[in-house]
Amino acid sequence: MNTIFRKSMLSVAGLAFAGGVFAGPIAAHANPVDGKPVAVAVQSAAPKPQGEQSQITLNDEQTANVKAIIAATKKAGLPERAAVISIATSLQESKLENLGHLGDANDHDSLGLFQQRPTSGWGTPEQITDPTYSTTAFLKGLRQVDGWQDMALTDAAQTVQVSAYPDAYAQWEQQATDLVGQHWNS
């Protein structure tokens, strides 16, 4: 990190701290104008989707795969955000289709919902094409990403997947969020 940038960041942090030190006591003693409670904005736990969003219509097989991803996420004891990241990743990698070997159209030896590769240690072809196994493997990788819960979806997915198209996951966040909202409690 260059010196000018570092000093600028430290200056901004110092000003923010000083503003909090002085404004905190003032705000603590402030009286509401008419005795009514003051509204406080609360930020949602999940960040807003980044960029343009894509959406596809799902068939029965794809919907079953959504449910399998959600079930595996729940079994792993992870929150809805993990299911959103998993489903968005699968939407990008396979459009939620459990892909087998595609011959010359195959990307190396990528298989299944997450296009995981046996030669990269994700499991055997049989395991990778099992939606529960492949989701559990993806979630195991996600758990190893420090701070994944607060990361942008595309950053969390990319850290696990190491894709040639790292920003592509973001386009599926809204549909993945909607799908988790629709199926999480069903």
- List all residues 6 or more positions away from 68 whose beta carbon is below 8 Å from its beta carbon: 131, 132, 135
Rounded to 10 deg, the angle between the 153-161 and 131-143 helix axes is 110
Summarised one tens digit per residue, pLDDT across range 44-64 is: 455 666 778 999 999 999 999
Q: What is the pLDDT of residue 101?
A: 58
Q: Extract the residue ranges of the chain whose pLDDT is less than 70.
A: 1-49, 101-108
Question: In Å, how far are 11, 19, 28, 45, 63 from 16, measured between CA atoms?
Answer: 9, 5, 17, 23, 47
Residue with tokens 């404004």: 23
Q: What is the pLDDT of residue 63?
A: 98
pTM of the predicted protein model = 0.72
Q: What is the pLDDT of residue 60?
A: 98
Q: What is the pLDDT of residue 165?
A: 87
Q: What is the pLDDT of residue 14?
A: 46
Distance from C-alpha of 107 to C-alpha of 84, rounded to nearest angstrom:
24
Task: Tell me the chain's radius of gyration from C-alpha atoms.
Answer: 22
**Three-state SS at 156:** helix
